[in-house]
Amino acid sequence: MTIDRAAIDQSAELSDIEKLGLSFDSIDDQACALLGYQRTKQISRKSRKMWEAGNPRPLAREIKERKQDIISGAFLEIYQEYLPLRAALAGEEIKKVCDIGCGQGINDVFLFKDFSPTFTLIDIEQTDNQYHFWSDEGSGYASLASAQALLVANGCKNRMLRRSILTKHHGRRPGMGLTL
Ligand SMILES: C[S@@+](CC[C@H](N)C(=O)[O-])C[C@H]1O[C@@H](n2cnc3c(N)ncnc32)[C@H](O)[C@@H]1O
């Protein structure tokens, strides 16, 4: 599959997200902050830089001012990236999804709406490193509890979900976390 970034960025708009009728109610400020770290296009450069330097307060302030914009922007960005996957899977029966590096589970919400599979959500929730220092060691910044809460708020049953948290010592192969 060839990915054309420019085309992806124009493949959907906010009104398409609104039409899906999703619930964002489970996304508290902390989950929104994680979403901002995972999707840094949605937050200010200042908030990102300060967080990388170990100061989360500017992002906390930004969330107070424009939380729903951050959430909507992240959902749209992820939805645009999801559409080629949906096209590739069209007509398939998808029974199980294992999402490694699932973040806040937003891709999984879209997969749930289209395919209703069971999920194994895998991520590293926290590392000493902040942000994208992953080339040598990886870095984790997710909450599987809030990913699960988002899926459940959007109709997925808890019995369809498993969570596996990788530790920061993830030199071990991610495969160890699988519970399929
Ligand atoms: C850029 S975010 C993307 C999150 C989500 N998949 C999305 O599309 O929005 C990258 C995620 O990968 C996780 N991550 C980084 N290294 C990882 C590893 N070695 N194993 C599992 N998860 C990892 C991070 O904690 C973070 O949640």
Q: How far is the CA of 28 from the centre of ligand 1 (A)?
A: 19
Distance of alpha carbon 68 from alpha carbon 59, whole angstroms: 14
What is the DSSP code (8-state) at residue 27?
-
Q: pLDDT band at 174, cuts 50/70/90?
A: very low
The identity of residue 152, as a single letter, is: V
Distance of alpha carbon 95 from alpha carbon 84, whole angstroms: 19
Average pLDDT of every residue of the chain: 87
The identity of residue 74, as a single letter, is: A
**Helical (H) or strand (E) element with 96:** strand 96-100
**Average pLDDT score over residue span 24-45:** 95
Least confident segment among 69-78, 82-91, 128-137 = 128-137
Which strands form 96-100's sheet, in the order they lie side by side?
Answer: 96-100, 118-124, 161-166
* pLDDT of 48 above 80: yes
Q: pLDDT band at 103, cuts 50/70/90?
A: very high
Looking at residue 10, what is its pLDDT?
95
Nearest residue to 150 (alpha-carbon basis) of 85, 71, 60: 71
Q: Which of ligand 1's atoms lies nearest the C-alpha of 138?
A: 16
87 vs 134, higher pLDDT: 87
- For the chain, how many residues are written? 180
**Average pLDDT score over residue span 97-111:** 95
Cβ–ligand 1 contact at 150 (below 6 Å): no
Name the pTM for this structure.
Answer: 0.89
In terms of DSSP H, where are the helices of the chain?
5-9, 14-20, 29-38, 45-52, 57-89, 106-115, 144-153
Q: Which of ligand 1's atoms lies nearest the C-alpha of 142?
A: 27
